[in-house]
Structure 1
Amino acid sequence: MSNIDQAKEAVRDQVWRLLEHEGAVPEGSYGKIPGFNGAEATAKRLAELDVWNQARTVKANPDWAQLPVRIRALKDGKLLYMAVPRMASLQPFFLLDPATLELPAEQAAEKEGAAQVARRVSVEDMRPIDVVICGSVAVNRSGARIGKGAGYSDLEVALLIEAGFVTDETVIVAPVHQLQVVEDDIPETEHDFSVDLIVTPDEVIQCPNRRRPRGLVWSDLTTEKIEAIPALKARFL
């Protein structure tokens, strides 16, 4: 484990322990993108922003923590792309179109519901993304973020950047609990992206230091990771 990886892991550990100690997350949240108390209020605050109201397409992680935002996107009539868990498909995104849903938004936005009714699409078949909703364990006010360490958010964004669907016009948002906003520096590597907005139940934070990769950083990917993700393996061959 590199020094950067160790530093990131120390921040994760601190935030997970703090969230559990303060009762801000359900038991068993350590090691996960935490579904936090106040997630619904956070989704409501996000939905009040101009950037949300102007958005037509939203891409979100499949974590439970982002469920209220995914529901809100469908109820607000937005086209929703939801990552297939662990990107375990050559078509690594679910497409949820509120105009054709066969389930209520609350069910369709869940992983199980999306698997039933959503069409799987390849990166090339997607549309430009207006808002990216990324699950995070910790963020700081400059926009640096840390996930749970699996790297899927980074890969999803990198693939969409390469395809031209995440651009300088795309706004990346981290909906989190206030306790997940840390004052510490968060180390970043070449493949990391930063967020443009942090939304908590209490506030909206504009982040000044935008950072985005130019695409996939193959040198940061292990052979095992490439083999495990069909969309990467197909590009690598």
Structure 2
Amino acid sequence: MMTEGMFTNYFLPGIWITIQVTLYSAALGVVVAFAIGTLRTSRLWIVRFLAGCYFEIFRGMSALVLMFWLVFSLPLLLEWRLVPMFAGVLALGLTYGAYGSEVVRGALAAVPEGQREAGIALSFTRWQRLRRIEIPQAWPDMVPPFNNLLIELLKGTALVSVITVADMAYAGNLVRLGSNESAPIYTLLLVLYFLLAFTLTRGMRVIERRANANVGKPQPRGGLLARLSLRENAGEGSGALTTGGAAK
């Protein structure tokens, strides 16, 4: 039977390892996403081609198999071994960074062409246009899909347990073997992953509201009821306008 000591000695360290893997992989993924995403909007075809090759390769590659390759095959080629946690972070960051690069590319492509032309008219360099004009306007459109990718990344961290990284999934398997109970342990794992995902979602919603406010699109803060009330008020206003128009 699972005891409090098992939770303290196994699950709590596993939760911390899962959080670390998620944060480190997300940081690497964001760097890769912005680098590859912006390169895919370059005017030079060779740059777009190379960035597109990275995107297609890592989008079509299994993160689990990449972890195995980094841990077991790379040492045979280079004669040095990666720490399992570093290999897991590298595989997840490179893979999810490829997914994120498509988000960045699409958001940058949605910026009105007139904004780019205004930057050119002001003699901005490509980097200045990205930093001052394109990315600030595209950022609010990136946050919701980044939120989804972050949740997928959190759940994908369970893969590192197969390369002996002591995350929550690894700790759960150890406790299951020690207590010979499966249902309560895996139920607890489901609840823990949900709580972490819910916390990340709340944080990303705050970032989304601030990003929209920075470009003049504030979001209602009252949740679902406030949104419904806002829609009802908008419907009443449109109805009043229609009635007034008919009376005229």
TMscore range, shorter length: under 0.3
TM-score (norm 2): 0.26
Richer in strand (by share): 1
Greater radius of gyration (CA): 2
Ranked by relative contact order (alpha carbons within 8 Å, sequence separation 6 or more), the top structure is: 2
Richer in helix (by share): 2
